[in-house]
Every structure is written in structure tokens, then in C-alpha cells.
């Protein structure tokens, strides 16, 4: 007669599991729990799944919110430790994000979208958690052009036509913001950036040195490198990017979609810490301290006064004009800066299409919805009492009178007279 099953005897698979636990030890018991199970458990408590977060940045003034979140301890409030990681180039930031060496980064808006669609590097699903800043970039021209009577875009266009040669302009990454601001500005003056001039890629901290030795006629980059060229007597400011598009999106807090899927609470905590820092920075009385902090060689490595002048909106173009710019670099502006508007991401796609980086029109809105994590941002902002816009699209008029509202992206991309 068959004996009844002895339910007290462990199965082979259960014995193996118990053996694994024994070998792992009580202190590391979570090491045998699948990551998705841990993430689900943590999501119920709101506890960050990953407490140390490595954030890449490039030496630019607009890395300030990431740096200050770590320096001032805003990160600790939300159970994480931000470890800022100084990087040499945007290509390096891209590669380290994709391969997981960086958890997130202070990064060019258009770089994230380029990786999402496989242009300008490997293809990988990416996320924008928040916008880090508006405004604060510029186009610098060499003193050699000033000697030729060039003061602005119109006079540059006249020179390019009157004295044909290879004019060289630098930007920081093929799909990035500076490339798009430079191309847009040149084209608005009737200069085809793909045919009438040569463009090269130079990392931001190397712009001034390259202009000094005559490698370029102009460049588009973030501060403080435009002001540094002015202070060093090798260039002048032809235009600011806020004059191309007032309150334009610039750097973002970018990461991979995999990171957010695996560490949703960490992503939210990260946004909250950087939002706190952004709000602190936008108190003008704090900006001197920001400049003093990020001037250190471990961050931007530039004299404090050169950083602080334009950080506080005090502009001198090197041509005799000085002004207090109301559209200086903003990090918070009551949360208007930080909301990841879908139309902001879509604009960069329209310019990628305009200049032939995209060979066909993507589904602009669908791409933006998959990249911009409005849900993560909104959860973080509401927890801090920060208002969240009701609409994910915003309307703006650019320097040439063109209105962008995100509603007809393919038609917008095709509407420009000068394009690839």
C-alpha cells in the first residue's frame, strides 16, 4: 500500500534554495531575491531601491543643480547619495549611460533623443526625468571676424558671401542642443550650416583653447566658456541662445529606461533632490555661492567671477554692449523650467529631421511620450508642493518668427527654406 506523501520533506528545489540562503548569510539574503521582486517591494514603501547614484556631468555652469544637490545634502533628505562624476565629452557621457557606468547624467536634450532613435550613437531606450535649465548658452565669434566688421548674424552672412573660404564653427555633439542652436541661428541669417560653412565637434571645456590657436571662427557652447573667451580676449558674443528661443530647454536629467524600470523610487528621489537644489539656486542671493562651489577644479574649473557674471544675468558682449538679461540661466522658475514638456523633446526631433539626421519622420509624439517621464516628474513635484502644468505641449515664437507648439511636427520640420 502506498504511503501518504510526507509534506515535511523539502523538495530538491526548496533544498537548493535554502542552501543558497545559508551560503549567502542573513546579511545578504536580498541578494538572492530577483531585482524585479525587490523593486516591487520597495515601491510599496517608497524606499529608494538604489541608494548611491552616480551622475555624470560636463564642466558647464548648468551642471549646478546636480552638483549642489550633492554638496548641500539635498540628496540625503530622500535617502540617496548623489556621486557627481566629471566627464570629458558628451560622447563619453552617452557611452557610459548606455553601458551602465553612469546611472544618470546632466546631459544634452538632443543627445537623449538621438540615442533613443539610434542616431549619433548606439540605439537604446532612454528617459528624460526633468529639464535642468533654460537659457544660458551663446554663440561666440573670433576676434578675427570682428576685425572684418562682423558684429552679428547679418554681418557674418555678408562676409561669408563676400569673402568665400572655409569658415569653421564648432558645436558640442551632433544631435545636441548647441548644434541645433548654431544651425538654427546660421540658417536664420541665410547661411546654410551644411553647405556654406564647416562644422566640427569640440568638447565644451576645449572650445576656448581651440579658438585661441585658430581652429575655428566661432562656436556654440554653454557658459562659462563664452564668457571665458571674452575674458581671455579671443572672442565676443554674437548672440545668446535665449535670443534664439526665450526660455528654451537645454540640459536634462537623463537616464536609460532600464534604470527607471528597475529603480523607480530612486528615480523619483533623484528628481526631488535636484528639484530642491534647483529651487535653491534660483534664489539670486545664492548664486555667488553656486559660482564659488562649481568653480572648483573638480567641477567646472574656471574663475568664480567668470562663472558668476552670466549666472547672475550680467552680460557684456565684448562689442561695447552691457546689459542685465532678464532671460538669464534659470534652474527652477516655480517649476516651469523642470517640467519635461513633450513639445520640447519633439522640437529637437524636428531639427534632427530638418538637418538630415533622421531620414524619415518618426512618430514625434509617441517618441516623446516614451522618453519624457512626466509621471515620475509629476510624482516628485507634487510631493514637494510644486505645481505641474496641465498641458504637456507649450507654444513659443523663435527668433525668425516661427511658432512652435508641437501640434504639426512633420509639417514644421519641412517648412524651413534652408534644410538638408
What letter does residue 327 receive in the DSSP assignment? Answer: T
> Among positive and negative, which fits the CA dihedral 174, 352, 193, 185?
negative
Output the pLDDT for position 4.
Answer: 40
Instruction: Give the Cα separation of 254 and 329 in Å (integer).
Output: 19
What pLDDT, on a 0 to 100 scale, did the predictor assign at position 43?
A: 56
Q: Which residues contact 167 (CB under 8 A, 6 or more apart)?
A: 160, 196, 197, 198, 217, 218
Give SS3 for 22: helix
Asked, as a colleague might, if the bond just before 224 is cis with ω within 30 of 0, I would say yes
Give the sign of the dihedral formed by CA 258, CA 362, CA 95, CA 69: negative
Q: Report which secondary-structure segment, H or E, holds 171.
A: strand 168-171
Task: For 311-401, list the strands marked E by DSSP.
Answer: 314-316, 322-324, 396-397
Q: What is the pLDDT of residue 234?
A: 97
User: What pLDDT score was predicted for residue 22?
Assistant: 39
Strand ranges, E, within 25-103: 52-57, 81-86
Q: Which residues of 63-93 are buried (b: 16+ CB within 10 A; e: fewer)?
A: bbbbbbbbbbebbeebebebebbbbebbbbb
98/257 Cα distance (integer angstroms) = 10
With b for 16 or more beta-carbon neighbours within 10 A and e for fewer, the 196-231 pattern comes to bbebeebbbbbbbebbeeebbbbbbbbbbbbbbbbb
pTM above 0.85, yes or no: yes
Q: How far apart are the C-alpha atoms of 246 and 255, rounded to whole Å?
A: 26
Q: Which residues contact 390 (CB under 8 A, 6 or more apart)?
A: none
Find cell 536580498 and name the residue.
Answer: 30
Report yes or no: 111 and 254 within 8 Å, Cβ to Cβ: yes
Classify burial at 262, counting beta carbons within 10 Å of its beta carbon; exposed 0-12, middle 13-18, buried 19 or more.
middle
Grid cell at residue 293: 562651489
Please, what are the averages of pLDDT over each run of 10 residues along the chain (420 residues)? 41 44 40 51 76 98 98 98 98 98 98 95 96 98 97 98 97 98 98 98 98 97 98 98 98 98 98 98 97 98 98 98 98 97 98 98 98 98 97 98 98 98
Residue 17 has a pLDDT of 39
Q: What is the DSSP string of 94-146?
A: HHHHHHTS-SEEEEEHHHHHHHHHT-SS----EEEEEE--B--EEEEEEHHHH
Show the domains of the chain with their CATH numbers.
Answer: 52-133+249-341+357-390 (3.40.190.10)
Amino acid at each position: 500500500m502506498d504511503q501518504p506523501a510526507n509534506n515535511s520533506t523539502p523538495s530538491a528545489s526548496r533544498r537548493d534554495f535554502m542552501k543558497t540562503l545559508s551560503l549567502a548569510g542573513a546579511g545578504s539574503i536580498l541578494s538572492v531575491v530577483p531585482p524585479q521582486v525587490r523593486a516591487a517591494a520597495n515601491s510599496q514603501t517608497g524606499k529608494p531601491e538604489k541608494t548611491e547614484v552616480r551622475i555624470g556631468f560636463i564642466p558647464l555652469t548648468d551642471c549646478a543643480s546636480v552638483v549642489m544637490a550633492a554638496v548641500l545634502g539635498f540628496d540625503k533628505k530622500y535617502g540617496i547619495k548623489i556621486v557627481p562624476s566629471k566627464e570629458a565629452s558628451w560622447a563619453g557621457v552617452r557611452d557610459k549611460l548606455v553601458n551602465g557606468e553612469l546611472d544618470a547624467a546632466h546631459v544634452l536634450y538632443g543627445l537623449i533623443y538621438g540615442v533613443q532613435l539610434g542616431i549619433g550613437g548606439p540605439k537604446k531606450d532612454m528617459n528624460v526625468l526633468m529639464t535642468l535649465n533654460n537659457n544660458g548658452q551663446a554663440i561666440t565669434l573670433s576676434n578675427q571676424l570682428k576685425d572684418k566688421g562682423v558684429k552679428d548674424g547679418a554681418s557674418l552672412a555678408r562676409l561669408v558671401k563676400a569673402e568665400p573660404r572655409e569658415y569653421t564653427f564648432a558645436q558640442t555633439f551632433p544631435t545636441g542642443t548647441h548644434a541645433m542652436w548654431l544651425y538654427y541661428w546660421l540658417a536664420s541669417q541665410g547661411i546654410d550650416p551644411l553647405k556654406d560653412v564647416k562644422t566640427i565637434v569640440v568638447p565644451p571645456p576645449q572650445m576656448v583653447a581651440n579658438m585661441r590657436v585658430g581652429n575655428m571662427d566661432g562656436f556654440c557652447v554653454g557658459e562659462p566658456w563664452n564668457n571665458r573667451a571674452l575674458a581671455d580676449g579671443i572672442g565676443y558674443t554674437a548672440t545668446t541662445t535665449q535670443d534664439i528661443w526665450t526660455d528654451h530647454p537645454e540640459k536634462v536629467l537623463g537616464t536609460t529606461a532600464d534604470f527607471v524600470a528597475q529603480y523607480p523610487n530612486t528615480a523619483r528621489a533623484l528628481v526631488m533632490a535636484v528639484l530642491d537644489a534647483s529651487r535653491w539656486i534660483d534664489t539670486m542671493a545664492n548664486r555667488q555661492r553656486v559660482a564659488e562651489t562649481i568653480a572648483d577644479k573638480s567641477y567646472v574649473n574656471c574663475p568664480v567671477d567668470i562663472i558668476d557674471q552670466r549666472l547672475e544675468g550680467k552680460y557684456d558682449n565684448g562689442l561695447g554692449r552691457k546689459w542685465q538679461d532678464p532671460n538669464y540661466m534659470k534652474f527652477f522658475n516655480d517649476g516651469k523650467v523642470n517640467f519635461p514638456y513633450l513639445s520640447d523633446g519633439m522640437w529637437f526631433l524636428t531639427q534632427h529631421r530638418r538637418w538630415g539626421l533622421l531620414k524619415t519622420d518618426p512618430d514625434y509624439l509617441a517618441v516623446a511620450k516614451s522618453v519624457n517621464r512626466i509621471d515620475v516628474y509629476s510624482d516628485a513635484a507634487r510631493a514637494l508642493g510644486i505645481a505641474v502644468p496641465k498641458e504637456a505641449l507649450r507654444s513659443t515664437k523663435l527668433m525668425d518668427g516661427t511658432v512652435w507648439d508641437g501640434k504639426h511636427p512633420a509639417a514644421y520640420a519641412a517648412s524651413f527654406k534652408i534644410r538638408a
